[in-house]
Amino acid sequence: MSKLVYALLSMGEALISCGAEISRVEDTLNRVGYAYGAINMNVFVITSSIVITMEIPGGELITHTRRIRNANGSDFTKLEKLNELSRSVSMDRIPVEDLQKRIEEISAVKVRKYGMFVGYVIASAFFAVFFGGSVPDGIAAGFVGAFIWLLWMYLTPLCMNNVVYQFSASLLSGLLICVASKLIPGLSMEHIMIGDIMLLIPGIMFTNSLRDILLGDTISGAMRLIEAVLLTFALALGIVTAIWVVGRIL
């Protein structure tokens, strides 16, 4: 049964890392635990930790906990696969070793980097045009979006946390936008900046935090909300700093 609890912790961590709501994570782990023969399940989940206490036949209690390091993702493809796995094993149990292997296989799937590149470029370009920019503004925003993708690829591992990355990415991209708009006539700094800021705004995190609070998971919701506010502040600080620096130099 310890292997089962370990598998449940792995499933819970994967769900949180993909952006699942806290109540859904607790419900999923409870259902899978009962499906594998638990008499009683007590699952406590916040964005940074999972605690599972399982009572098995015979009255023995098994308690495991796990620290969650990455709770800021939003991979809906993995989330769908994990939900399908939990539903299938709740109806038709498989060996615990196979369950753990399936969870690890789903978690090991990497994000398609070049698909993300295309998404960054297209999203930033279209947002710039959508908010009133010209076609050249959209093209410029697309190039800056590609630059932000490079920062996401190579700067993220160097930053100690998401707040530092958010400030660094917004500062560097803001400097690039300000310099380009100064040197290239006809470009609108405001519209290019709006298009690229949309890539960095923690909108999903903010929405998830409010959803958790409304569902009664106040601690998790408050933690996500505070982090979203900090990321937004870091984003604003980076952009303002870039505008100030370029304004002083050029």
pLDDT in tens, 157-202: 898 889 999 999 999 999 999 999 999 998 999 999 999 999 999 9
Residue 10: pLDDT over 90: yes
| 158 shares a domain with 57 | no
| 182 shares a domain with 217 | yes
| 237 shares a domain with 122 | yes
Q: State residue 58's pLDDT score.
A: 82
The model's pLDDT over 42-86, given as tens digits with 9 standing for 90+, comes to 999 998 899 999 998 888 899 999 999 877 778 888 999 999 999
Instruction: Give the residue from 108, 132, 148 where a domain finishes.
Output: 108
Q: State residue 59's pLDDT score.
A: 81
Residue 21 CA: distances (Å) to CA of 35, 46, 159, 167, 171: 21, 10, 26, 27, 31
Number of domains in the chain: 2
Residue 112: pLDDT over 90: no
Residue 226: pLDDT over 90: yes
Q: State residue 109's pLDDT score.
A: 83
| 237 shares a domain with 180 | yes
Q: State residue 247's pLDDT score.
A: 87
| 125 shares a domain with 104 | no
pTM over 0.75: yes
| 37 shares a domain with 147 | no
Residue 1: pLDDT over 80: no
| 245 shares a domain with 201 | yes
| 123 shares a domain with 54 | no
| 60 shares a domain with 26 | yes
| 208 shares a domain with 102 | no
Instruction: Give the residue from 108, 142, 164 where a domain finishes.
Output: 108
| 19 shares a domain with 140 | no
Instruction: Give the residue from 90, 108, 126 where a domain finishes.
Output: 108
Residue located via tokens 């519209």: 191
Q: State residue 99's pLDDT score.
A: 93
Contacts of 7 (CB under 8 A, 6+ apart): 96, 99, 100, 103
Q: Give the chain's mean pLDDT.
A: 92
Q: Which domain holds residue 9?
A: 2-108
The model's pLDDT over 16-47, given as tens digits with 9 standing for 90+, comes to 988 888 889 999 999 999 999 889 999 999 98
| 102 shares a domain with 130 | no
